[in-house]
Amino acid sequence: MSQLAIDLRSDTVTQPTPEMRAAMAQAVVGDDVYGEDPTVNALEALAAEKTGKQAGLFVPSGTMGNLIAVLTHCGRGDEAIVGNLAHTFLYEAGGISALGGVHSRQVPNQPDGTLDLEDIRAAIRTDDLHCPPSRLLVLENTHNRCGGAVLSVEYTRAAAALAHEHGLPVHLDGARLFNAAAALGVSAADLAAPVDSVTFCLSKGLCAPVGSVLCGTTDFIRQARRIRKQLGGGMRQAGVLAAAGLIALEKMSLRLAEDHQRAQRLAQGLRALSGVQLDPGTPHTNMVYLSLTDDVPMEASQVAQSLREGGVLVGVVGQRRFRLVTHYWIDDQAVFQTVTAFKALLG
Ligand SMILES: *Cc1c(COP(=O)(O)O)cnc(C)c1O
């Protein structure tokens, strides 16, 4: 089950662990659209407990989880306030507008992943028939495009309080919520407490093969369950997937600090090389962002191709820019080999 290459392109590449595969083979299953899959029910209950919410909904992807959340909070013609670098805005194929008729209002993301409170305040519409009504605020933690930056409990509280003051619920795209919790030394529930709904991915650093969970109040999840069905996300004997999700939540969520330490070590090794420049502050969590210095006569794609030939896969996120993500299958040896491979190419 070992991976062929050192694959640092993303934490989505994580394969299920042998323990997960065994649990999947033995999972007790039922028809989850009838609510009869005990393993899915157990996963949804555990996810709710871990995020401090009343209920959970197992969904096929983070994209669907966020879409269901927005469609549950908003109707057609309503407006959701999102960061201009938010995953929901940039990388979810415009689903909230294509499928929900929800208008997005973009507020600039600060380099630390936050939205300035004054920008949020200014983006909330007054009651004017010319304008789409503001109906939702979406936050993201950790923030993918902002280098895996972590939003603090205090910031989340302040942003949610502002939204709530204006009658807007808050959805948290917590695809990597457990990375944020590990980085801050708080619980996922602490980070999710101020918000009304939260999605997190089982399939990234937590290593499950498929799935995310959307959590919120019992009433919210009841409505969300109908929308999941509308979108074709009602799955039948999904306990085979949820079985891996249970291990992801119970065990893998506890070891993410290791990935963050390895990201630190990787950054330390790369920082010593002359041909690359690391982003200030990187890594916040499990992502290292770096660029080629001006004197390097190659582009990132060429460097990535040479690294690939040596068995190291890195993410190319710009003409001269890389993203390297640590995860369960990246051990100390892989970190060492990656630094060595960069060094061989760039000195
Ligand atoms: C990965 C990710 C998602 C969801 O992605 P899927 O591939 O649909 O599971 C959502 N938000 C963020 C911030 C992500 O990184």
Q: Which domain holds residue 261?
A: 255-346
Choose the final residue of a domain: 252, 270, 286. Answer: 252
Neighbour-count burial of 9, counting CB atoms closer than 10 A to its CB (0-12 exposed, 13-18 middle, 19+ buried): middle
Let me know whether 302 and 221 are in one domain.
Answer: no
d(CA 220, CA 4): 43
Which three-class secondary structure state does DSSP give residue 60?
A: coil
Say if residue 2's pLDDT is above 80: no
Residue with CA nearest ligand 1 atom 2: 175
What is the C-alpha separation between 195 and 193, in angstroms, rounded?
Answer: 6
State whether the beta carbon of 109 lies less than 6 angstroms from ligand 1: no
Domain contains 120: yes
Cα–Cα distances (Å) from 248 to 9, 30, 204, 260, 340, in that order, read 20, 21, 10, 17, 31
Query: What would the mean pLDDT of 43-64 be, rounded to a whole number?
Result: 98
Is there a single domain that holds both residue 42 and residue 90? yes
> What is the 346 CA–ligand 1 centroid distance (Å)?
32
CA gyration radius for the chain? 20
Q: Is the confidence at residue 3, as pLDDT, over 70?
A: no
CA of 85 to the centre of ligand 1 (A): 13
Confidence of residue 1 (pLDDT cuts 50, 70, 90): very low
Confidence of residue 45 (pLDDT cuts 50, 70, 90): very high
Q: What ligand 1 atom has the least distance to the C-alpha of 63?
A: 8
Q: Which residues pair with 133 in a beta bridge?
A: none
How far apart are the C-alpha atoms of 244 and 212, rounded to whole Å?
Answer: 12
CATH of the domain at 135: 3.40.640.10
> CATH no. for residue 312?
3.90.1150.10
Can you give the pLDDT at residue 309? 94
Confidence of residue 347 (pLDDT cuts 50, 70, 90): confident
Same domain flag for 79 and 164: yes
User: What are residue 13's phi and psi, to 5 degrees?
Assistant: -80, -5
Q: Is 339 within the bounds of a domain?
A: yes
SS3 content of the chain, % helix, strand, coil (to 5): 45, 20, 40
Using the 3D structure, point to which of 226, 252, 278 is the last residue of a domain: 252
Residues 193 and 261 placed together within one structural domain of the fold: no
Q: Is the CB of 144 under 6 A from ligand 1?
A: yes
Using a 6 Å cutoff on CB, does residue 87 contact ligand 1? yes
Atom index in ligand 1 nearest the CA of residue 92 equals 8
Residue from 201, 241, 327 whose mutation best tests the ligand 1 pocket (most atoms within 8 A of CB): 201
Q: Is the CB of 175 under 6 A from ligand 1?
A: yes
Q: How many domains does the chain have?
A: 2
Ligand 1 centroid–CA 275 distance in Å is 31
Clarify whether residues 201 and 301 are in a common domain: no
Cβ neighbors of 37 (< 8 A, separation 6 or more) are 29, 30, 31, 236, 237, 238, 239, 242
